[in-house]
Chain A
Amino acid sequence: MTASPALGRIVAVVPAYDEADAIGRVVHEIRSFDPAIDVVVVDDASTDETASVAQSHGAIVLRLPHNVGIGGAVQTGFKFALAEGYDTAVRLDGDGQHDAAELGKLLAPLERGEADLVIGSRFVDPGGTYKPPLARRIGIRVFARLVSLLGGQRVTDTTSGFLALDRVGIELFASEYPHDYPEVEATLIALKSGLRLSQVQVEMRERETGSSSITFVRSLYYIVKVMLALFVASLRRYPRLESARR
């Protein structure tokens, strides 16, 4: 499958920390979805062979000198996209949980010019197969409700890192993206900045290698940090970006 020429030059931003076992396949799958997409792996100071594996599979690799956290890593990719003049950016995780075969669904609303930001959500369709453990499900739902309330648009999955951006979205996230646990707050920032957000149903895979970075203490920090960030972001003013639309 190939993405439409209406999308211009496309870059795939893939943040990765110690994903040497998974990253090769991730890069390969994106390139087999559409060989014209440039894959940029942002290596967040991995201790394993992530960078060289990614490079050998044909990715452009940005190596951070020290670990800056997932948000800082992703933003490095968006800054690259902005500086190199890409028209469209997609973001997939380096652990392989996002299926590159679903990029077509993610890109469709951008292609039709209907959205600036498309989020791959596991909960658009109530019949989706993703059934997380109760605590996580409650957390995901509470954040979604909060962001919907504060942002003025119903959002179903604010913790998804599977997304696509047009040039306006790239510009926003290149200048404004939280550094740790970024997804929830970034969704609110996008809504408050006037980006048109669209959600498409996707399935995510269980991770195959490594372990999720969320432990108990971290989940606690995650919840408190994100709540605080949402509260403060709701008090901030963000410049509206509508005028920049093509």
Chain B
Amino acid sequence: MTPLRVSIIGVVASALLILVVLELIRGRRLKERYALLWLATGAVLLVLSAWRDALNTIASWLGVTGYPPAVLFAVATLFILLVLLHYSTVLSKLTDDNVELAQRIALLEERVARGLSER
């Protein structure tokens, strides 16, 4: 069985995660696009923390007989991996976009400079 205290802490922590993410979006420090995975993480952890029977059942399916809250950690880890992987793809695209921008500016600068010197 999951100790009650673990469930309470799980609920508080995941609710806090959701609130912090929402506040970051409201303050325009986080775009909805990049907040969705965090909100999904918070929602899943909240459900698994609050719905103790579900956590115990899933733990027994997975063969985790000793300590069901271990499933909470596993799920949290999985979601953090997903978020990180997602961010790596975002970062890669940003890198490409940034190179493209730098190249466009270099070409533009050369054209502007040539235009100025021809006058």
Which residues in A have some Cβ–Cβ distance to B below 8 Å? 65-66, 179-180, 221, 224-225, 228-229, 232, 235-236
Contact = CB atoms under 8 A, between A and B. Distances in A.
A137 to B, nearest CB: 24
23 contacts: A65-B100, A65-B101, A65-B104, A66-B96, A66-B97, A66-B100, A66-B101, A179-B31, A180-B33, A221-B36, A225-B33, A228-B25, A228-B32, A228-B35, A228-B36, A228-B39, A229-B32, A232-B22, A232-B25, A232-B26, A235-B22, A235-B26, A236-B26
A221 B40 CA distance: 13
A85 to B, nearest CB: 23
The majority secondary structure among interface residues of chain B is helix
A66 B104 CA distance: 10
A-B pairs, 10 with minimum CB distance: A66-B97, A65-B104, A232-B25, A228-B32, A225-B32, A65-B100, A229-B32, A232-B26, A235-B26, A66-B100
Interface of B: 22, 25-26, 31-33, 35-36, 39, 96-97, 100-101, 104
Contacts of B31: 179
A235 B22 CA distance: 10
Nearest to A225: B32
A229 B96 CA distance: 27
Contacts of B26: 232, 235-236
Nearest to A185: B32
Contacts of B101: 65-66
A180 B26 CA distance: 17
